[in-house]
A and B are shown apart, each in its own frame.
Chain A
């Protein structure tokens, strides 16, 4: 099992540009989560999906952030336009619905200059 796969590992972009982060969950998992990690705020849940349907996006900081899960094996997190304060490590995680532990990807380190 390859685990949760995120791409890219690193992204450097200029303020105002669109950024798309990608995630492939573990095959068979039906819940997918996007987290953001910063020194100031720690690990924050942005949004999660069950069976490809967004369940709770209350953690998405503002309308510049959007997430999609078009099928069971792929999800994207998009920031448009990006701002320097969006700089963080973004993690994707997947699990079986219902309380099973989350399996995390290695994250995407985003730097917005």
Chain B
């Protein structure tokens, strides 16, 4: 069965510093990978996705992620963090389910704290 591990429960960075959030997945086939962000009291918003092709994926809000098959990883990065980036970040792997849909299985999330 597919699974996603986000090893860091909390990450604290200073505003303007670079950021990397880790994500490792377990999936038997070529994965569909996603990063979502959740602000307090809100639903999840898609940051970026990887289906195929270029392993470096650009997303919204200046985020990017790199798919590394050899490491089963899909880490999220941002070169300079803004205070508004403080939120919960979820990595997800899409697995093929009955009916032909790829349903994401989510990691437990990483809470990003940004210091001024």
* Residue of A43, A50, A91, A107 with most chain B CB atoms under a 10 A cut-off: A43
Is B101 in the interface zone, CB < 8 Å from A? Answer: yes
Closest to B90 in A: A43
Docked CA distance A102–B34 (Å) = 10
Number of A-B contacts (CB under 8 A): 59
The answer on a CB contact under 8 Å between B101 and A99 is yes
* Cross-chain contact A4 with B101 (CB below 8 angstroms): no
A70 contacts B by Cβ under 8 Å: no
Q: Does B53 contact A (CB under 8 A)?
A: no
Whether A99 contacts B102 in the complex (CB less than 8 A), given A105-B43, A107-B43, comes out as yes
Digitize B101-116: 1 where CB-to-A-CB distance is under 8 Å, 0 elsewhere.
1111111110000000
- Give 1 or 0 for each of A31-47: 1 = CB within 8 Å of chain B CB: 10100000000110100
Chain B residues, Cβ within 8 Å of A80: none
Is there contact, CB below 8 Å, between B101 and A98?
Answer: yes
Find chain B residues with CB under 8 A from A4 CB: 43
Q: Check A99–B94 contact: CB distance below 8 A.
A: yes
Q: DSSP class of A's interface residues: helix, strand, loop or mixed?
A: strand
Residue of B94, B101, B106, B108 near A48 (CB, 8 A) is B101
Q: When the two chains form their complex, are residues A42 and B100 in contact, meaning their CB atoms are under 8 A apart? A: no
Residues of A within 8 Å of B43, CB to CB, are 4, 91, 93, 104-107
**Complexed CA–CA distance, A4 and B34 (Å):** 19
Listed by A's residue number, 13 A-B pairs whose Cβ atoms lie within 8 Å are A42-B106, A48-B97, A50-B100, A55-B97, A55-B99, A56-B99, A91-B43, A98-B100, A99-B102, A103-B46, A106-B43, A107-B42, A107-B43
